[in-house]
Amino acid sequence: MTDTAPQTGGLDAEDDKLLVLARGAMGRTGGSSGAAVRDTDGRTYAAGPVELRALTLTALQAAVAAAISSGAEGFEAAVVIGASFHDAGIAAVRELSSSGKIIFADRNGAVYDTVGAEASQ
């Protein structure tokens, strides 16, 4: 039997929850990416990419939009799966939270990079 559990890179419980939510959003939408954010009040939002003729959002942009439309004023952390370091959603996170942690993981959930002021803690 092969172990298919993702390597979370030592994430704390709250960040691991974001990883699980992002993977779930990716699975539900059948997309190539997923994202989840945690606002400064501790609420979480997850989304997959939106690809319509009238609206196109990356998964991270969609998660940020869901949070902002629900009243979020800033972000503690974000997890993005299957996206590049150039994802347009990063700018959206940074617009409200210059030091919020952004965790990057591959489609299997393995963390490969973390950026942000809290990343080294």
Query: Which pLDDT score, from 0 to 100, does residue 2 have?
Result: 40
Query: Which pLDDT score, from 0 to 100, does residue 19 have?
Result: 97
User: What are the pLDDT digits (tens) for 86-108?
Assistant: 999 999 999 999 989 999 999 88
Q: What is the CA radius of gyration of the chain?
A: 13
User: What are the pLDDT digits (tens) for 18-76?
Assistant: 999 999 999 998 888 999 999 999 999 999 999 999 999 999 999 999 999 999 999 99
Query: Which pLDDT score, from 0 to 100, does residue 44 have?
Result: 98
Query: Which pLDDT score, from 0 to 100, does residue 119 have?
Result: 53
Which amino acid, one-letter code, is at 53?
Answer: R
The answer to whether residues 57 and 45 touch, using CB atoms and an 8 Å cutoff, is no
State yes or no: pLDDT of 5 exceeds 50.
no
Query: Which pLDDT score, from 0 to 100, does residue 14 have?
Result: 94
Span 2-22, average pLDDT? 76
State yes or no: pLDDT of 118 exceeds 90.
no
Distance from C-alpha of 108 to C-alpha of 80, rounded to nearest angstrom: 12
The answer to whether residues 79 and 46 touch, using CB atoms and an 8 Å cutoff, is no
Report the chain's mean pLDDT, rounded to a whole number. 89
pLDDT tier at 3 (50, 70, 90 boundaries)? very low
Six-digit token string for 65: 């939009």
